[in-house]
Amino acid sequence: MIKKAVVGVVTVMIWLCFGSGAQAHIFWLLVDQDTPKINAPVQVEIGFGHKFPNDEEIKAERLGSLKALGPDGKEIPLKKISTTRYEFAPPAAGIYLINAQMAPGFVTRTPQGMKMQTKKGVPDANLCFHFDMAGKTLVSAGGAHQGVEQSAKSTLEIMPLKAPHTVTAGDELPLRVLFQGKPAAGVELKATYDGWADPRDPFALKARTDAQGEFRLKLDKPGKWLVVATHKTPYHDLEECDENLYTASLTFTAR
């Protein structure tokens, strides 16, 4: 049964911040083809849940934005097919960046459970988080390999340092994590792929970025991959909330 997206966000808070046994809900993007011909339609699907690549359906009100940016940085129109599926056609050769942002919000833990609000007016609040969740993927039209360095301008972002569509199983994909546009050291990274079958943990790999904010991901299997970065900072007004929780995802297909 499809759970409500609000419940999924609460689960994210519990799993990431309190170390409970619950599985984290994740936010990602998938395309039906990542190396299309010029002007060929590409479908973009919004993924949500904890079972990559297909799980729950995100509620329309939880989606903050979805954009497709061309090689020149200009926005490409997206045709809405459904709440979770969109389409665009790349008009020229180049790397296209697809980026989505969940509507941000607050979660406060209380002895009675989790509330989707700040801790103001909650006298028994234990801990509050403001969440910021972004997801991105890349499309290479017309065989382009250059242009992966284009940024989505998300607060937290995973940048591939090599065109993901050129990597094959057994290769390493170099990644850099940016926080507020700068390389971020010590950020937690988790990765999984389509077919990972451990029901106790949705991720096949866990690591942290090095001093330069980088990590080399070994791709053991061909197919769809998901990488998720998480980062926390103190909230600016401790009377309102305690911490910011940022998550960012990157999806791609290894050959």
Average pLDDT over residues 185-197: 93
- What b-and-e string marks burial along 64-81, b requiring 16 or more CB atoms within 10 Å of the CB? eebebbbbeeeebeeeee
Residue 14 has pLDDT above 80, yes or no: no
> Per-domain residue ranges for the chain?
5-254
Percentage, residues of the chain above pLDDT 90: 70
Element (H, E) at 7: helix 5-18
Mean pLDDT estimate for the chain: 87
Specify burial of residue 18 (Cβ count, 10 A radius: 0-12, 13-18, 19+).
exposed
Q: What is the pLDDT of residues 220-255, one digit of tens each?
A: 899 999 999 999 999 999 999 999 999 999 999 999
Per-residue confidence (pLDDT) for residue 143, from 0 to 100: 84
Question: Is the overall model pTM greater than 0.75, yes or no?
Answer: yes
Of 30 and 24, more confident: 30
Q: What is the pLDDT of residues 56-80, one digit of tens each?
A: 787 888 889 999 999 999 999 999 9
Average pLDDT over residues 202-228: 94
Residue 216 has pLDDT above 90, yes or no: yes
Residue 20 has pLDDT above 70, yes or no: no
Average pLDDT over residues 38-51: 91
Q: What is the CATH number of domain 5-254?
A: 2.60.40.3880
Cβ–Cβ < 8 Å for 233, 186: no
